[in-house]
Structure 1
Amino acid sequence: MAQTLEGLKPVLQPYGVEPHFVESYGKISKVFSNKGTLAVKQLPAQNGVDFVRNVQLLFQRGYNRIVPIYPTMDGRYAVWNQGDLYYVMPWMMNQEREDQFEKHQKMFRELARLHTLSSHEVKIDKEERESHYEQLTSRWDKEQAFLDEYVEACEKTTYMSPFQFHYCMYYKDASQALKFSRKMLDEWYEETKELEKVRTVITHGKVSTEHFLFDERGLGYFHNFENSKMASPFHDLLPFLSRTLKTYPKYYEECIEWLTTYFQHFTVRNEERLLFMSYLAYPSSVIAVVEKYFHTPKDKRNERKSLKKLQRHYWLLKNTEYVVMRLDEMEKQKKEQAEQAE
């Protein structure tokens, strides 16, 4: 750890920077120096190669809404010190002039632009796609069978536990979500059978308004690209939605508008939409909670904690269901309008 004034001196020397004072904020340090106020970020060595390559590629493609990463005097974008990498950026004040909704809107607009500029077609083996589909459908079929069998077992129980009682109430919603996911996956597979290429983009890796900073002009910039990689664009969207929708039950119309903004600036192909809807609707967290409860011996179960967790993930399921149904409804309306126009 080099988060002290003395510890950061060898890190900053290749930049020609002399630190005067350091404020440490975990893995990032605010450095007051002869070249202004800088941010020095510690980066795990194993992430270094992808991080540098992806940031350089984005710059080459013309994407400049990244908090600038300063090169050393000999052109390196990171410095090795005591087993870790460090990189240097300007310290941004993050002048927030918008409310949270508007901030998210701007972030999704920029995310769509980042994905568009970094998109790349890669060849995919048909056997690999078929194998992935078969493995996934086999697992989902087993999970559907588990949900069906366990609800029958609970209903035959003379005195159900609170967890079992609530699971029986939630079963229909979880089962319907799984069946919808399977339907979307089947449609995706049919549509992609003959495709030889798939689209990948540079994903940010941890999309969050905490990683989207504003300068004094109100322009937004992404930072924290340590987990970036070439992948499907939905590797950015799905984790964000899972975190955002994990709250009390509500009609999350804001999410619909943020996604609409994203899709307006990043044209999604139909097969990509089908796979996105399949993964988004899939009730993985509810299934995981129920399976854990089922496999835990009765004398070791914590009924209260298990029930609380089940309820929380059921809320996530219902919030997600609203978003999925609204997106599906909007897609059907779009197709109807296109047919009428013809």
Structure 2
Amino acid sequence: MADNERRKQDTEAVLLNYSVKTYHIEFIGNITKLYSDKGVFALKSIDPHIGIDFIRNIQRLYQRGYNRIVPIYQTMDGRYAVLHNNRLYYLMPWLSDQENGERSERNKQMFRELARMHTLSVREITVEAEEREEHYQSTNEEWKKQLGFLREFVESCEKKWYMSPFELMYCTYYTDLSQALEYSTKKLEDWYEKTKDHEKIRTVVTHGKVSLKHYVYDDRGYGYFINFENSRTAPPHFDLLPYLVEAARTYPFPCDDCVDLLYNYMRYFPLKPEEVLLFQSYLAYPESSIAVVKGYVEKKGNRSELQYVRHFQRQYWLVKNIEYMVMKIEENERAKKAAAEAQQQQQQQQQEPNPE
């Protein structure tokens, strides 16, 4: 009760900056729902340290003509947010999100809007050759160290007369893990060879937490992104990778819908070949599985043998689900490359003079 009373006082203090008269206040999670003389609103507070980038990115999207983000209302003196008691508050309309369409269709609409948002906010930035090389070298060296760690651990396990359940499972899955890491490293090398002489990279305004929970509908059926607190200027894969990895965190299944979503996005915002290479590298990288193995070897935390086995099993399923996605992407990219080469060859033949 005391906490709600404090939140109510904070809300009333913040609303003095808006020309809004409230009749009723509800606290729903970290959002305050306001019933007022001008409609129903949502008031949200964020850490001021992320507020500067958040406001800047919202303004940039507005300026570029992107309007499928929930509007942020300005105060009476033109500010987009109010600083109060070390929190930054912003006001937006409350959307009912009554859309009842199929989940797959909602995902398609969300990815189409994500592509449009990236298209309108895209810009190239200069990257020094030394900076690109440093990123490649440090990442490549780190991944090769991890591959060495995986090999050393499997060798130590195989020397034992009796393996623990975790060690036995690790030896069973070792080949798949090492192949995923080797694939990631190879794609990283391909990316560097293709881009080491490039001076620029593409960046966009990324959402930061793309999910259906953060894509809501108004009464007219239009979809809007919400929760832009983690937005930043970054390459487009900063939005794509977390979503696909999270979608793969389940029991083993061939996620064709995930691959379809990616290529639906690329219909509206095509990734360049070098961007696809880097995307493949990061997607295939078995980060969470390696973390579990390291935790087991270093005996971090208080997990029991059974807990480690269960946790590792789930991470291995993630590796296999992502492996399916990566292979489908590989097939699609090879088909696209073959089609482009065939088209180019056909154009060259048409340009050649016909023999008399």
- Residue aligning to 2:152: 149
Unpaired runs of 5+ in structure 2? 346-356
Task: Kindly indicate whether the alpha-carbon contact (under 8 Å) linking 2:30 and 2:45 is maintained by their aligned counterparts in 1.
Answer: yes
1:180 equivalent in alignment to 2:183: yes
**For the residues of structure 1 that align with 2:330 and 2:140, how far apart are their CA atoms?**
22
- Relative distance call for 1:326 and 1:4 in structure 2 (3 A) is same
**For the residues of structure 2 that align with 1:308 and 1:337, how far apart are their CA atoms?**
44
Displacement, 1:7?
2.8
1:208 equivalent in alignment to 2:211: yes
Deviation string 1:240-277 (CA, Å, 9 cap, x unpaired) is: 11211110000011101111111111111111110000
Displacement, 1:24?
0.4
Task: Say which of 120, 124, 129 aligns to 1:126.
Answer: 129
- Residue aligning to 2:107: 104
Letter in 2 for 1:35: K
- Residue aligning to 1:264: 267
- Residue aligning to 2:354: none
Deviation string 1:206-233 (CA, Å, 9 cap, x unpaired) is: 1111000011221110011111110111
- Residue aligning to 2:279: 276
Task: Say which of 328, 341, 345 aligns to 1:339.
Answer: 341
How big is the alpha-carbon RMSD for the aligned residues of Structure 1 and Structure 2? 1.4
**For the residues of structure 2 that align with 1:301 and 1:62, how far apart are their CA atoms?**
50
Deviation string 1:156-204 (CA, Å, 9 cap, x unpaired) is: 1100111011101110111111111111000000011110011111110
- Relative distance call for 1:300 and 1:20 in structure 2 (3 A) is closer
Task: Kindly indicate whether the alpha-carbon contact (under 8 Å) linking 2:43 and 2:90 is maintained by their aligned counterparts in 1.
Answer: yes
Task: Say which of 305, 308, 323 aligns to 2:307.
Answer: 305
Letter in 1 for 2:319: L
**For the residues of structure 2 that align with 1:197 and 1:161, how far apart are their CA atoms?**
50
Unpaired runs of 5+ in structure 1? none
**For the residues of structure 2 that align with 1:26 and 1:340, how far apart are their CA atoms?**
56
**For the residues of structure 2 that align with 1:57 and 1:91, how far apart are their CA atoms?**
23
Task: Kindly indicate whether the alpha-carbon contact (under 8 Å) linking 1:5 and 1:20 is maintained by their aligned counterparts in 2.
Answer: no
**Larger Cα Rg: Structure 1 or Structure 2?**
2
- Residue aligning to 2:317: 315
- Residue aligning to 2:58: 55
Equivalence map 1:1-342=2 (5 Å): 4-296=7-299, 302-341=304-343, 342=345
After TM superposition, the score normalised by the length of structure 2 is 0.93
Q: How many residues align?
A: 341
Displacement, 1:301?
5.7
Provide the identity percentage: 50
Deviation string 1:117-154 (CA, Å, 9 cap, x unpaired) is: 11111110111111111111111111111111111111
**For the residues of structure 2 that align with 1:300 and 1:68, how far apart are their CA atoms?**
46
Letter in 2 for 1:166: M
Task: Kindly indicate whether the alpha-carbon contact (under 8 Å) linking 2:10 and 2:84 is maintained by their aligned counterparts in 1.
Answer: no
3-state SS of 2:173 partner: helix
Letter in 1 for 2:147: Q
**For the residues of structure 2 that align with 1:42 and 1:281, how far apart are their CA atoms?**
36
After TM superposition, the score normalised by the length of structure 1 is 0.97
